[in-house]
Amino acid sequence: MIPVIGYAANQAKAQLTPYTFERRDPKEYDVLIDIKYCGICHTDIHQVNDEWGGSTYPMVPGHEIVGIVSKTGNKVTKYKIGDRVGVGCFVDSCRTCTPCKNELEQYCANGMVTTYNGVEKDGTTTQGGYSSRITVDENYVLKIPDNIPLDKAAPLLCAGITLYSPLKHWQVGPGKKIAIIGLGGLGHMGVKIAHALGAEVTVLSHSLRKLQDGKKMGADHFYATSDHETFEKLQGYFDVIISTVSSDFDLNQFLNLLTLDGTMVQVGLPEKETTMSFASLIGNRRSLAGSLIGGIKETQEMLNFCSKNDIASDIEIIPIQQVGEAYKRILNSDVRYRFVIDMKSLQQ
């Protein structure tokens, strides 16, 4: 077994503290990765606090993992020692169901094996990327393109793909008007990717505090949702709206901003359920949809797209000892725009 150091929550809502555990030695198709950086996703906070139910402890969060391959199993063909690689939100799936066969492993009918707070096929509890090393099957590992710095690439593994996938699925591109609600980790990646796809991009944020940043990322328009005039002005305007909001919000006032046949895609997963008005849907033949991360093939496509279009995440690097402080700032919408943990700090 391979000794690993990390940070874990020992119970719901607990502060993360140092934790040592073991990973499996690479089996024939596994690679061992020395983790260099790990992004902090708002999902980590939901899970540490058991806001969705089903959390198990000790829990080492982290599913925006980048690092360097340090060992390979004897049948590995995709990666070699020294390669720059990433791991996102899942590390395995059944590989036989229809979604898996269609490279949509995130919708695996038998349940994907999540990178942490999940259970491997051998019964081991998975532990995430706030740690020194991880062993993963090569089929669930991504190649990080050479021109994307590793630290800025980490958030692409969840935030990047979570926005890329619905943007592609709902064919966002030239001539389409798209809004992103919430300029946080997911939202800022959505703005950059939608802009690169050629759409007209609007940010709908609490306030105008992040306006300059949003424009730099490629937003054409920026509105404050605290201003009720925003909802009058933009009535029936958008083809697609993607909501990344992580806490309760009034879904109906945003549905009213969709044009005829427009689609609202929910990717944020607040703790509490929301209510929906059928009248807002019926009025303009609107659709309400959801979307969950992306499959391995699409995640690699997104990384290559980001490489080609010079897209990476705007990050603030922190030592792991400051993870509690970072969680507080994320909850206050004070993240510019993703915290990334430098794993060198684990040795301190």
- The residues with which 181 forms a beta bridge, in sequence order, are 204, 243
Minimal CB distance residue for Zn ion: 41
Question: According to CB under 5 A, which one of 7, 16, 26, 43 is a site residue for Zn ion?
Answer: 43
Does the protein bind ligand NAP through residue 128 (CB under 6 A)? no
> Do 227 and 253 form a contact (C-beta atoms < 8 A)?
no
Question: According to CB under 6 A, which one of 135, 246, 256, 299 is a site residue for ligand NAP?
Answer: 246
Does the protein bind ligand NAP through residue 158 (CB under 6 A)? yes
Does the protein bind ligand NAP through residue 249 (CB under 6 A)? yes
Residue 46 contact among Zn ion, ligand NAP, none, beta carbon within 5 to 8 Å by kind? ligand NAP
Of residues 94 and 288, the one with the C-beta less far from Zn ion:
94
Convert residues 197-226 into a mask of x (bound to ligand NAP by CB under 6 A) and - (unbound): --------xx---x----------------
Residue 100 contact among ligand NAP, Zn ion, none, beta carbon within 5 to 8 Å by kind? Zn ion
Question: According to CB under 6 A, which one of 292, 322, 329, 336 is a site residue for ligand NAP?
Answer: 292
| Segment contacting ligand NAP by CB under 6 A, of 111-119, 145-153, 231-239, 267-275 | 267-275
Residue 269 contact among ligand NAP, Zn ion, none, beta carbon within 5 to 8 Å by kind? ligand NAP
**280: helix, coil or strand?**
helix
Does the protein bind ligand NAP through residue 192 (CB under 6 A)? no
Q: Which helix (H) or strand (E) holds 291?
A: none
Does the protein bind ligand NAP through residue 267 (CB under 6 A)? yes
Distance between CA atoms of residues 294 and 266, nearest Å: 14
> Do 180 and 201 form a contact (C-beta atoms < 8 A)?
yes
Does the protein bind Zn ion through residue 41 (CB under 5 A)? yes
Minimal CB distance residue for ligand NAP: 184
Please give the full DSSP string across 124-169, using - where no structure is assigned: PBP--SSBSEEEEEGGG-EEPPTTS-HHHHGGGGTHHHHHHHHHHH
Burial of 94 (0-12, 13-18, 19+ CB in 10 A): middle
> Do 204 and 256 form a contact (C-beta atoms < 8 A)?
no
Does the protein bind ligand NAP through residue 330 (CB under 6 A)? yes
**282: helix, coil or strand?**
helix
Question: According to CB under 5 A, which one of 68, 97, 288, 317 is a site residue for Zn ion?
Answer: 97
> Do 292 and 146 form a contact (C-beta atoms < 8 A)?
no
**What minimum distance in Å lies between the beta carbon of 189 and Zn ion?**
11
Does the protein bind ligand NAP through residue 136 (CB under 6 A)? no
Does the protein bind Zn ion through residue 292 (CB under 5 A)? no
**23: helix, coil or strand?**
strand
With the CA atoms of 200, 206, 207 and 212 taken in that order, what torsion angle do they form, in degrees rounded to the nearest 10? Answer: -40
**209: helix, coil or strand?**
coil
Residue 60 contact among Zn ion, ligand NAP, none, beta carbon within 5 to 8 Å by kind? none
| Segment contacting ligand NAP by CB under 6 A, of 18-26, 194-202, 263-271, 321-329 | 263-271
Does the protein bind Zn ion through residue 94 (CB under 5 A)? yes
Are β-strands 177-181 and 2-8 bridged in parallel, bridged antiparallel, or unpaired?
unpaired
**Token pair belonging to 243:** 């909501």
With the CA atoms of 276, 282, 283 and 286 taken in that order, what torsion angle do they form, in degrees rounded to the nearest 10? Answer: 80
Residue 327: DSSP 8-state? H
> Do 40 and 166 form a contact (C-beta atoms < 8 A)?
no
Query: Can you give the binding site for Zn ion, defined by CB under 5 A?
Result: 41, 43, 93-94, 97, 100, 108, 158
Query: Can you give the binding site for ligand NAP, defined by CB under 6 A?
Result: 41-43, 46, 158-159, 162, 182-187, 205-206, 210, 244-247, 249, 267-269, 291-293, 330, 333, 335
